[in-house]
Amino acid sequence: MKYLVSAAEMRRYDSNTIEKTGIPACVLMERAALGALGVIEEHFHAEKSVLIMAGMGNNGGDGLALARLLAERQYDVEVWCVGERRKASAQWLQQEKILGHYPVRLSREPSRRDYEVLVDALFGVGLTRDITGEFALAVSQYNEMEGFKLALDLPSGLDSDTGEVLGCVARADCTVTFGFCKRGLVLYPGCQYAGAVTVAQVGISEAGFYGQEPQMFAYDESARDLLPARRSDGNKGTFGKVLLVAGSRNMAGAAVLAAKAAYRMGAGMVKVATPEENRVILQQAVPEALLETEEDIRASLDQWADVVAVGPGLGKDERARGLLAQVIEECDLPLVVDADALNLLAEAPELLEVLGMQAEGREGDHNAGKKSGRKVVLTPHVGELSRLTGIPVSVLKKDLPGQGQAFAGRVHGVVAAKDARTFICGEAMPVCVNLTGNSGMATAGSGDVLTGVIAALLGQGMGAFEAASVGVYLHGMAGDAAAAGLGEHACMAGDIVEALSELQCGGQSLCGGRWREAAAQL
């Protein structure tokens, strides 16, 4: 797991490290410069030409410290100072004084057009308004220059919290960020300007939290490290029984994908409640699955299932509305709500209220006799979330994690708000942002696969937030594996299902890896 910090959090941790832990600011700046130096030396040997575009704040101070270290290693260094010196920070002035003893040129304009390395040290995480005037001109000139471009902490012009462009932005081939990764480096559109991101450890560590941990994180573990443990003495009933209420008349595809995904993610048994017309298709496509008519699901809800998933391919007719009401009002099992079921909920706010009461654990007219604290996961894409909340998509996109958290608080459950980045939000919890996945997953049926994945993890005993967070992460990893083998243009949802097993087998599963290589030679 890695933390993704906001600008305010980073300022707090920086201050805590200096004032409470006792590490001087000059030491932190020196270690930041050393971190950047290491990245440059990975790519270039000494005697290369370097231009450092430095502002007058502490980010510019980092740039001046870097200039000194580069000069010590025989690089040809020029510092392009942008801004009024009278506004320079104390740390900047100290670094300038030290730099006077080294063979480094300080200029108001670059003295040439060709440099092998260009370093952006104009603004750090503190930028809150659009870049204008001489700074905008400097960024424009910087972007036009050729060479390997390295940003210190954050590409100048990016909002550290949202990744939005503040007027203009200095593009980077690589960003060295200090202490912890900044949110804007991984969110869109910021991640498209940051290049490869390296986190340099400068002395600001988790010890500097002092009880105030970051409120956003992302997984970066291997799939094997996150999957539920498998008991060696287990059986098909041990690993979760998933009831999938999915599909409509002669529309079986979504149910097939969700059922396969649940099995691939470790579910012991999967039962599909779907119209009789889908029986032959399901029996042929997923012979492992049990089938049940929709009229007979009460017994499964009461006595058989460990978790219920509803929505994939369900439709929006009266039959579908009745099924949704049944799994909400007559059942207290962990529940995944997706696709058509979300749109039905948007049209039936009374069911959404009942669901919220169950998840919160309150007793009410519709929840009498049920166990408290029902595990509920909703997986809306931004359009579905708009219908559920009544908030326009354009407004949601401006703060999707905040809006997702607000809706999670309303339903007292977990909301996986899906967009280019998916945010998993729980009530009064840090937000998990998913960094896996690719454009090849923007294909019909991909969401149905995710439903099966999350349901299987819930069935194996995970909590709602963990199942949703891990499920989205592994779903994205499978999409990346599928795209690596097929190309993003060629990916289909079924390929994501098959790649789920490849994650667990190190590329040696029957669905891919060595099997694909062997097949290519036949």
For 44-64, the pLDDT digits (tens) are 988 899 999 999 999 999 999
pLDDT tens-digit map of 166-209:
999 999 999 999 999 999 999 999 999 999 999 999 999 999 99
**DSSP secondary structure letters along 402-467:** HHHHHHHHHHTSEEEEBSSS-EEE-TTSPEEE-----GGG-STTHHHHHHHHHHHHHHTT--HHHH
| pTM of this structure | 0.92
- The torsion angle over the Cα atoms of residues 377, 289, 316 and 348, rounded to 10 degrees, is -30
Q: What does the pLDDT read at residue 46?
A: 82
* Least confident window among 3-12, 292-301, 417-426: 292-301
3-state class (DSSP) for residue 392:
coil
Structure tokens at 166: 């503040």
pLDDT tens-digit map of 336-367:
999 999 999 999 999 999 999 999 874 343 33
Which CATH number is associated with domain 237-518? 3.40.1190.20
* CA separation, residue 28 to residues 3, 7, 23, 57, 68 (Å): 19, 17, 7, 15, 15
Class of domain 2-218: alpha beta
pLDDT classification of 506: cutoffs 50, 70, 90: low
Cα separation of 167 and 187, whole Å?
Answer: 17
Domain with CATH 3.40.1190.20 in the chain: 237-518
Answer whether residue 96 shows pLDDT above 90.
yes
Output the average pLDDT for the chain. 93
Which residues are within 8 A (CB) of 122 and not within 5 positions of it... i.e. 6 or more apart?
A: 53, 54, 55, 59, 60, 82, 135, 138, 139, 156, 170
Answer whether residue 439 shows pLDDT above 80.
yes
Cα separation of 161 and 471, whole Å?
Answer: 25
User: Quick one: what percent of the chain has pLDDT higher than 90?
Assistant: 86
Domain with CATH 3.40.50.10260 in the chain: 2-218
Answer whether residue 514 shows pLDDT above 70.
no
* CA separation, residue 282 to residues 213, 242, 255, 276, 453 (Å): 47, 16, 8, 10, 18
CB atoms within 10 A of CB 306: 20
**307, β-bridge pairs:** 242
